Structure formats: structure tokens, C-alpha cells
Chain A
Amino acid sequence: MIKRWRQALNKRYQRWITRRLPAVKKIRLDNRKLFIFPTRGGFVFFALLVLLWLIATNFENNLIFAFTFLLSSLFIIAVFHTFLNLSGLQIEGGRATPGFAGQTAEFEYLLSQSGKRQRYSIEISYPEVEPTVVSLMGSEIKAIYLSIPVKRRGWFKAQRITVKSVYPLGLLKVWTYLQFDTEALVYPQAIDANLPPQAASGRGDKPPPQNYRANNSGSEDFVGLEKYRLGESLRHIAWKQFAREQGLQTKHYADAVDDELWLDWEALPGMDTEARLSRLCAWVLDLSETTRPYGLRLPGLELAPGTGRAHRDSVLRALALFEQPAAAGGQA
């Protein structure tokens, strides 16, 4: 019963906060977006004020009255100071670095302001993430990064971050919950195969394991030598010719793509979708550390073999978004 109520309440709250603080790219904090309330320390301070007032009243001591009122005024002035420490602050959702499911994705947030106010001790936090505390001096722009845990592959939209400050006296806290529409791409979790791809380990002349349906169909006919070009594999250098001082030359074979690997969805029968993707992802990571070109075949998608970081990222992206809504959808 209570649980239902709580859920209902939570739903209402989510609706309310979404209406009040919708997801944005950039936000300038003002009084409609900030909440302010005494902290626990503030309540204890209030108790101190009551105690002092009682002492002043009972001893009929006007000086203690005066100092009690001074501390009360400090409390009231602190409301302005605390509020203004966040008010006028601009926060922008920056880039989000992709991450792997089960690990974290790094979200960037940019803090800036149009004035020159010194803002101290702004705490930015996210559930289950160590909060970041930052001060903003003058008109600089500060970037902070939150490593937010991501669970499932696909597009991940971070939940609301909490921006909080208790500066200067710690008696009051001012805070807001902000939702940015930045999304991070989450790659599948990389689960190492039992048989690590030997092809990736650096011995290209051995037949690749069965899992790889390498497209080198047996033809390894040597056709001749060519001048070495930067970036070619050292494995193919004709060392004998080099020893005869004929310069660096590489051996070329009839089937130029013999070394290419196709990472094929179909090569992993009997596993469920996520497990296959995880396996493929692990191989991609392994292969991306070698110079060996690799391609990807997924049902309805084929990425030609290639090497390099950009290639790796596009392969991983394909894995992440496999059977996912094409556009950046809600929470993945």
C-alpha cells in the first residue's frame, strides 16, 4: 500500500520536475529553477539561536539579545549569498564519450557565467557517482566530467544531475536537478571469447580459428615484390631482398585480401543476441590493437574491412545500435 503510494508520489514528482525543468542543452539557473532550504547544520544553528534567545530572555541581557539577532541576521543574509552562488550560473551539457555496457560513459558538463562573480564549492552529483566539487572564478569556463555507469548498449541519456551549493555558511543549501539532452553511445559489454582470436595475436601466416570465416579461401600464390610503403605490415617485408641490399620490399600475394577478417554474426550460432554482440565487441577491441583489417557482418548490415580508430568506432557503433531504434531514442 505504502509502496504504491510512494510510487504514485514519485510519478507525480517526476511529472512535476519534468514540466518545471525540461531537458535542455544549456540552462541558466535562476530563481525559478533553484530550490533553497536549510541544511542539517542550518537547523542546528537555529537551535543555537533558540538557546541564545532563551539565555538572553532569562538573564534579561540585551547584549546577548543583540548577538542573537546578529546571528539570526547572518542566517538571513546567508540566504542571499547561498542563492546567488548558483543563480546566474550557466550549465551546458557537453559531449559524452561512449562507454561499454557495465562500465561508465563520461559526460561533460560546462559551467560558465556572464558576470564575474566568484562561485565557490559547486557540487555536481549523480546517483552512485562520486560528486565533483568545483569553483568558478570570474568569466572562465569550467568543464567537469562525470563517469556515469551505463548498463545496456544503445543510446544512453543520463538522468538528472544534481547541482548543489551550501556556500558560504553551510546553513542553507541551494540546489537544482538538471536534465540535459546529451546522449552517450553505449557499446556492448566486451566479453572475451574462450578462444581469443589468434589471428589478432600477430601470427598471420597461421590459419585463423574457425570462428573467423576469414576470406582467404586458400589462395596464397606469391605474385611478386613491390616497393615498401609506409603502413604496410612488417610481416610481409621481403627480408631476404633487404639483406641483399635491394631496399625494403614487400611480398605480394594473389589474393590481396587474404589477411582480412570478417567478424560474422552467423559464425556464432546458438548464442543469444547480446552474447553474440559481446563476443564480437571483444574481438573488435582485440583486433583494433593490430593492423589487421577487419570487417563486420550483421544481419542486414555489412561494414567493409578496414583499420584505424574511426573504423573501430563505426564498427562498435554498429554493434551498439544493432536492433536498436535508429534515432536517438529514450533511455537505452
Chain B
Amino acid sequence: MRPLWQIPRDCLFWLLVSVIISIGLHLGHLPPWVALSGIIAAGWQIQLYRERWRQPGRLLKWSLAGACASGLFLHYGRFTGLEPMVALLLTGYVLKLLEIHHRRDALVLIYLSYLIIILQSLFSTTMVSSLLVLAALLPVTAALVAMHCGAENSRPATALRTALTITVQAIPLMLVMFIVMPRIGSLWAVPQQNSATTGVSDSMSPGDMTQLGRSGKIAFRVEFDGPIPEQSQLYWRGLVFSGFDGRRWDQQGPWGYNDGQFLQWSNQPQETWDQVITRRGAPLSYRVTLEATNSPWLFALSTPLSQSSTVALSRDFRLVNREPVISKLQYPVKSWLDNQLEPASLPGWRKRLELAIPAGFNPKTVEIAQQWREQTPEPLVLMNRLLALYNQQFIYTLRPPALGKHTVDEFLWGTKKGFCEFYASSFVFFMRAAGVPARVVVGYQGGERHPTENYLLVHQYDAHAWAEVWIEGRGWLRVDPTAAVAPERIEMSFADLFGEQDDFLSASPLSLERMRHIRWLNSLRLKLDSLDYAWSKWVLGYENMQSDFLLGLLGEINPQRIALLLLLAGAIALFPVFIMLYLGREKNTRDELDRLFLQYCSRLEKIGLPRQPGEGARDFAQRISLLAPGLAAALDRLTQLYESARYAEQSGAEILLFKKALKVFKPSRKDLLIRV
């Protein structure tokens, strides 16, 4: 069957390029066979175009679609979630390549290319990948241009050049829109299953997470009344996980505790459990400005107390807001860094809570933990032994392999690669198995000191998980097993992000991190670092600056002013384009008639009959008619046509007549033979 509509050749070329590029961009999180089927479909489409192969039959197409869908389900185990959705979209897109019957099929493919290429930004937000996405949009636009160009056999390069022109012209306007267009927060919760992009969530399941999404967005800012404490002191506690079901750590919640209300409000009488907190010395006083999180958990240094009436202290010694934080929230905190929590003793029900391990999980760890407990009964020694194990054998990476059913077993005695959540989870499980009460704490660690102002910026990539163990007589002690593996993760803050990234690159021998000893390479690395930092600050986290920026520009943010600014700045951005396009048009060269007349003159000049300067067409014709009487009739006719085209009304029809007559006007030297 011949296709009903033949796609223009250059359009097909750019469409195939777009498909290959879309697949290439998503290669990192796609099953490889999707990429393979994309290449096969592209090849098939080429053969279709050359009329070598035929359209796949309906049965084949449907079974292919079915096979792909089930393949994806087998690969991901579900269809919800970002990655399976994108993979499904990509598969459908690739299969669509096999049925381009109408213009609209090609159009759908082009629009889908735009969507799929841009969706890559959900997976990677680095500057390099953004530039790649920007470049990848060009062939798609070229395909769109080629489709509407209509010129026969036009070369692909022409379409690409037009696409490039339009894109370059669009960039100033894009920048204006990016800067001015207000962002509203999430409209509804989006499934974020495989990557914890927002740092801290309500539960933690290290085995499922194969990649820690890092976002350069700000989590909160802290302004201290005094100097900012040491980096290694800055453990911002957010949630405490005491429950573990073998896979997932989560909060015990109010029902886990039975000695009074779970939350203690500042304007209400103290709960009895407040007695177990020993606060020593002068408190550290600071204000936290938290970005919207959509959950009530607040972040503070241990052990905190807030005077705000909407903030409560919970039974596990952290701060909780009355309502989920849906917009920026500022709260004052006093923290006693020197403290003891539940130092005296833990009642039986508390011990049971903090020692619980699910049956049937991680048998090897349980066995080894008990062995160790017999060898080293002292909890602190036991703990140090485990930390030493981490230090010697484990690797900190942001891309650990996925774990199966026995997450702790596989991690501790198998893969030995992971990030903070893996360490916290395995450490707490091991300590509990060895009979030491322990729990997981998640929150943020460190922060970036603002170079000139006295405040601290805590980013989403500072999200961290660590452990607390209970030692009789000393209470809950903070232990950070990640620090045992990658101490620099804790000691430096800003470099953390990049330290992580270098770890992330540790598989590659060309990693700049590995060449720290080469000076110029190191300075290059730091330059790249600061570029990347600027990128995350100004682009990825722009909405944090936007309101300040617009406020400074407009004085007051309201829809009218924003619309006005958008119009004004948009007009300024469009002005060069406008000038370019309109002036380009006015740059007239000689018109068609002049060009034809010059052609006429040059033909005569070639046979030795040049036109005198300033000689009119008629005078010229009369003069040379005498020299070449054989041409006289033709010259007379041409002159008449020229004059009527020139002086009557510059009419296309007249010019065309002149052109036609000129076409057959071939004077040669023979015409000169008869001389008077």
C-alpha cells in the first residue's frame, strides 16, 4: 500500500534525526530495547519512503504495541510514576513512526518530539543537559519548517537554517518570559516515586531508591543572632523514623507514645515528658524561613524550643507546625546544643519501640550483630567497630545499585555502595539487632554561608539522614554513619554538592575529582563548580529570587504591573527581530526589469555593440540598428516591450513579455556582417 500522503524528504530526515535524539536523551532511564525498537522503526520508515518495504500489517502493529506495553510493565512493574510514563510515551512515539499516512501523523510526531525532548529536563537539570535539550529542539523545528516549506527537493540544511534563525530570534523573548512570568506552586501532588527530588519525605526506603535526585532549590534560610556554628554541628532535625517494616522506615506517630500528648504547644502547660530533656548552657537563637513543603514538619537544631504559637515540640524532640506549610513560613527557635535526651533510662515500652526489627528480614545482619554483641558488649565500642567497617570497605555514591528483599543484608555484605539513607538504615538496623536502641533521623545537614550576609542557605541537596542511638546515662546520641564513609560530606557544605557529584563520577577515570593534584585542572574544576552553582542558583532555583527581583523592579507585585512589564520587556526583546525582518525587506536590489535590461545590453556588448553611458533604450536601439540591420526588427520589438514595461505601469505581464522576447534574442557577430 502506498502511503496516502508522502512526507517531504527533508521533513522525514529531520523527523528521524529528532526521534534518534529523543531516544538518545532518555537512554539513561530507558530499557535498552526501547532504543533498539526506535532504531528499527526509523530504518523501517526509511525503507517505506524508498518503497522498498511495505507498511507493517495491522496485526503486526497491534502485537508490537502489546509486546512493548507488556515489556515496559515487566521492566518497571507499574505504569504510574514518571519513568514508566515517559517510557510508555516514548514507545508509542516510536511505534507511531511506522504509520505516517497523513500530514497530521507527521505533525503529531513532531509535537511529541518537542514534548519528549523537553521532558528530559525532569531527569537531569545540569547545564550541559539543558544545552543538549536546547540543541535537540532545533531538528524538531527544522522538521516543522521542512513540512511547511513546500519547495520541492529542498535540502535539509535550508530548513535547519530557518529553524536556527527563528530559534535565535525567540531567545530574547524567552528570557523575558522566564524572568517575568510568575510561578505558582504545584497545582496537585505529582507522583515522584523513584527519585526523592525534594530531599525530605515522610518515609524512607533506601532499597527502592537508585538515585538521589538533587535539586538546587532552597529548603530554608536561617538567620542567627550570633555567629554561625561549625558546619559539623548543623544537623537540622526534621523527622524521626522509629518504625521499620523491612523495606520502609517511617514515623511512629502519636500512637507510639503513651506518656501524654504527642505535641506540646508553647502556650499550653508543659507535658510530663518535657522532664526527660536536660537543657544546658545558653541557647542558640535564630530564625528559620522555610520554603513551602506541603507538610507540617519544621527543621531545627537539637534540642529546640519555639515561642511561636503555631509551632509545637513533639515527643521525639522536633518542631511541628499546626498546618502543612504551603507558603513561606518564618519561625523563631532557641536551641540548646548542649543537651541530654532521655538520659536516665528508657521504659520498657520505649525500648521495645526503639529495638523493633521485623521478623524474616536481613537474617545475616541479625546473626552477625548478635555475634558482635557477644564479642563487644559495650554499645559504644560496638558502634565504633561498625563505623570502622564502613570507613574501610564502603563507598559513598549517589547512584547505588537497587536492593532486593533483604536491603540491609545486601547493602552491608554485598554492594557496599550507597548514600546517606543506606548508611542510616543499615546502621540503625544493625544496632537494633545488637540490642542497642536506635532510630533514623532525617533532615538537612550543613548549609551554605552567605558570603556577605550573616545567614545560612540550606538547599534541597543538603537533605541528609543519620542515626541516633540511646546509651544508658547519656541519652540519645547523634551518630552519622555517612561521616564515617565520606567525612567531607559533613565537613564542607557547598563543596558537598560537588563532592557528591565527583563521587558520582568516581567510576570514570577521567573525573576531575581524581585529578585534584593537578593545579590547573583543579582550578578548572572549581570554576565549573561555581558555574554550576550559579546555574542552580539563577536558573534552577530562580523562583527564589524572582519575587525579590520583581519587587525591586516594580515596587509592588500585582497582575497589572507584571502584565505591563511583560509587554514592555517583550516589546524590547522583539524590537531587534522586527527591525531585522522589516529592514531586510526594504533592502531592494535592482528590480527584475533592470536586471533583464542589463542582460539585453550585455548580449549586445558581447558582439561589439556597447551602450553609451546615458544612452536611452530607444536611442541605443536606433543607433545599433544601423550597424546591424539584421537585428533591427528584434531590437525594435524589444525596445517597445521594454518601454511599455518601464513607463506604462511596471506590470508583471509586460515584464514577462519582455523576458520571453529576450529569451529568444541571441545576437551574434554574424548579424554585423552587413554594414552600411
Residues of A that sit less than 8 Å from B by CB: 26, 41, 44-45, 48, 51-52, 54-55, 57-74, 76-78, 80-81, 84, 88, 90, 92, 94-95, 108, 110-112, 114-117, 120-121, 123, 133, 135, 139-141, 143, 166-170
Asked if residues B585 and A68 are in contact (CB atoms below 8 Å), the reply is: no
Chain B residues contacting A73 (CB-CB under 8 Å) are: 170-171, 173-174, 177
Q: Which of B130, B134, B162, B185 contacts A60 (CB 8 A)?
A: B185
Q: Give B118-140 interface residues, CB cut-off 8 Å to A.
A: 118-119, 121-122, 125, 130, 133-134, 137
Q: Which of B149, B151, B183, B585 contacts A65 (CB 8 A)?
A: B183
Q: Give B602-621 interface residues, CB cut-off 8 Å to A.
A: none
User: Among the listed stretches B298-306, B536-544, B668-676, which one makes contact with chain A, having 4 or more residues with CB under 8 Å of it?
Assistant: B536-544
Asked if residues A110 and B591 are in contact (CB atoms below 8 Å), the reply is: no
27 residue pairs bridging A and B, Cβ less than 8 Å apart = A26-B651, A48-B111, A57-B184, A60-B183, A60-B217, A60-B543, A61-B121, A64-B118, A66-B130, A69-B173, A69-B174, A69-B178, A70-B137, A70-B167, A70-B174, A81-B581, A94-B652, A115-B586, A116-B589, A120-B149, A123-B150, A133-B150, A139-B590, A139-B591, A139-B592, A167-B150, A170-B147
Asked if residues B186 and A121 are in contact (CB atoms below 8 Å), the reply is: no
The complex places the Cα of A121 from the Cα of B652 at a distance, in Å, of 20
What residue of chain A has the Cβ atom nearest to residue B144's Cβ? Answer: A169
Q: A-B pairs with the 8 shortest C-beta distances? A: A121-B150, A73-B170, A110-B652, A63-B121, A69-B177, A73-B173, A170-B148, A70-B174
Chain B residues contacting A74 (CB-CB under 8 Å) are: 141, 166-167, 170
Give per-residue flags for B559-574: 1 if the beta carbon is below 8 A from chain A beta carbons, else 0: 0000000000000001
Given A44-B107, A141-B655, A170-B144, A112 and B586 contact (CB-CB distance below 8 Å): no
The complex places the Cα of A66 from the Cα of B217 at a distance, in Å, of 16
Asked if residues A76 and B173 are in contact (CB atoms below 8 Å), the reply is: yes
**Shortest distance between the CB of B90 and any CB in chain A (Å):** 15
Asked if residues B577 and A69 are in contact (CB atoms below 8 Å), the reply is: no
Asked if residues B115 and A52 are in contact (CB atoms below 8 Å), the reply is: yes
Asked if residues B150 and A92 are in contact (CB atoms below 8 Å), the reply is: no
Q: Give B183-214 interface residues, CB cut-off 8 Å to A.
A: 183-188, 190
Most-contacted residue by chain A among B169, B174, B185, B581 (CB, 10 A):
B174
Asked if residues B148 and A62 are in contact (CB atoms below 8 Å), the reply is: no
Given A60-B543, A62-B543, A63-B125, A90 and B137 contact (CB-CB distance below 8 Å): no
What residue of chain B has the Cβ atom nearest to residue A141's Cβ? Answer: B652
The complex places the Cα of A276 from the Cα of B535 at a distance, in Å, of 86
Asked if residues A57 and B183 are in contact (CB atoms below 8 Å), the reply is: yes
The complex places the Cα of A265 from the Cα of B170 at a distance, in Å, of 71
Most-contacted residue by chain A among B173, B184, B539 (CB, 10 A):
B173
- Residue B578 at the A interface, CB < 8 A? yes
Given A63-B130, A66-B539, A54 and B592 contact (CB-CB distance below 8 Å): no
Asked if residues B150 and A51 are in contact (CB atoms below 8 Å), the reply is: no
**Shortest distance between the CB of A244 and any CB in chain B (Å):** 43
Number of inter-chain CB pairs below 8 Å: 179
Asked if residues B107 and A41 are in contact (CB atoms below 8 Å), the reply is: yes
Chain A residues contacting B121 (CB-CB under 8 Å) are: 61, 63-64, 67
Chain B residues contacting A78 (CB-CB under 8 Å) are: 166
What residue of chain B has the Cβ atom nearest to residue A122's Cβ? Answer: B150
- Residue B350 at the A interface, CB < 8 A? no
**Shortest distance between the CB of B147 and any CB in chain A (Å):** 6
The complex places the Cα of A170 from the Cα of B118 at a distance, in Å, of 20
Given A62-B541, A77-B166, A170-B148, A70 and B171 contact (CB-CB distance below 8 Å): yes
Asked if residues B148 and A167 are in contact (CB atoms below 8 Å), the reply is: yes
Chain A residues contacting B595 (CB-CB under 8 Å) are: 139
**Shortest distance between the CB of B133 and any CB in chain A (Å):** 7
- Residue B247 at the A interface, CB < 8 A? no
Asked if residues A67 and B148 are in contact (CB atoms below 8 Å), the reply is: no
Asked if residues B149 and A26 are in contact (CB atoms below 8 Å), the reply is: no
Asked if residues A135 and B150 are in contact (CB atoms below 8 Å), the reply is: yes
The complex places the Cα of A45 from the Cα of B108 at a distance, in Å, of 10
Chain B residues contacting A72 (CB-CB under 8 Å) are: 174, 177
The complex places the Cα of A89 from the Cα of B131 at a distance, in Å, of 38
Chain A residues contacting B148 (CB-CB under 8 Å) are: 120-121, 166-170
Chain B residues contacting A41 (CB-CB under 8 Å) are: 107
Q: Which of B130, B150, B171, B185 contacts A120 (CB 8 A)?
A: B150
The complex places the Cα of A129 from the Cα of B169 at a distance, in Å, of 38
Asked if residues A92 and B653 are in contact (CB atoms below 8 Å), the reply is: yes
- Residue B587 at the A interface, CB < 8 A? yes
Asked if residues B118 and A121 are in contact (CB atoms below 8 Å), the reply is: no
Q: Which of B166, B178, B190, B592 contacts A58 (CB 8 A)?
A: B190
What residue of chain A has the Cβ atom nearest to residue B163's Cβ? Answer: A168
Most-contacted residue by chain B among A44, A77, A123 (CB, 10 A):
A77
Asked if residues B166 and A81 are in contact (CB atoms below 8 Å), the reply is: yes
Given A65-B181, A140-B592, A77 and B145 contact (CB-CB distance below 8 Å): no
The complex places the Cα of A120 from the Cα of B145 at a distance, in Å, of 10
Chain A residues contacting B114 (CB-CB under 8 Å) are: 48, 71
Asked if residues A67 and B133 are in contact (CB atoms below 8 Å), the reply is: yes
Given A66-B539, A67-B118, A84-B581, A110 and B151 contact (CB-CB distance below 8 Å): no
Most-contacted residue by chain A among B130, B133, B151, B578 (CB, 10 A):
B151
Asked if residues B173 and A68 are in contact (CB atoms below 8 Å), the reply is: no
Given A62-B542, A168-B162, A94 and B653 contact (CB-CB distance below 8 Å): yes
Asked if residues A116 and B587 are in contact (CB atoms below 8 Å), the reply is: yes
Asked if residues B171 and A110 are in contact (CB atoms below 8 Å), the reply is: no
- Residue B659 at the A interface, CB < 8 A? yes
Chain A residues contacting B147 (CB-CB under 8 Å) are: 170
Most-contacted residue by chain B among A55, A74, A90, A112 (CB, 10 A):
A74
Asked if residues A65 and B178 are in contact (CB atoms below 8 Å), the reply is: yes
Asked if residues B187 and A90 are in contact (CB atoms below 8 Å), the reply is: no
The complex places the Cα of A167 from the Cα of B146 at a distance, in Å, of 9
The complex places the Cα of A74 from the Cα of B110 at a distance, in Å, of 14
**Shortest distance between the CB of A32 and any CB in chain B (Å):** 16
Given A61-B121, A80-B577, A168-B145, A116 and B186 contact (CB-CB distance below 8 Å): no
- Residue B588 at the A interface, CB < 8 A? yes
The complex places the Cα of A52 from the Cα of B119 at a distance, in Å, of 9
The complex places the Cα of A66 from the Cα of B115 at a distance, in Å, of 13
**Shortest distance between the CB of B171 and any CB in chain A (Å):** 7
**Shortest distance between the CB of B113 and any CB in chain A (Å):** 11
**Shortest distance between the CB of B473 and any CB in chain A (Å):** 46
Asked if residues A84 and B585 are in contact (CB atoms below 8 Å), the reply is: yes
- Residue B656 at the A interface, CB < 8 A? yes
Chain B residues contacting A44 (CB-CB under 8 Å) are: 107, 111
Chain A residues contacting B190 (CB-CB under 8 Å) are: 58-59
Chain B residues contacting A63 (CB-CB under 8 Å) are: 121, 125, 130, 133, 539-540
The complex places the Cα of A24 from the Cα of B150 at a distance, in Å, of 28
Most-contacted residue by chain B among A51, A116, A139 (CB, 10 A):
A139
Chain B residues contacting A76 (CB-CB under 8 Å) are: 170, 173, 574
- Residue B584 at the A interface, CB < 8 A? yes
Asked if residues B151 and A121 are in contact (CB atoms below 8 Å), the reply is: yes
Asked if residues B592 and A141 are in contact (CB atoms below 8 Å), the reply is: yes
Give per-residue flags for B284-304: 1 if the beta carbon is below 8 A from chain A beta carbons, else 0: 000000000000000000000
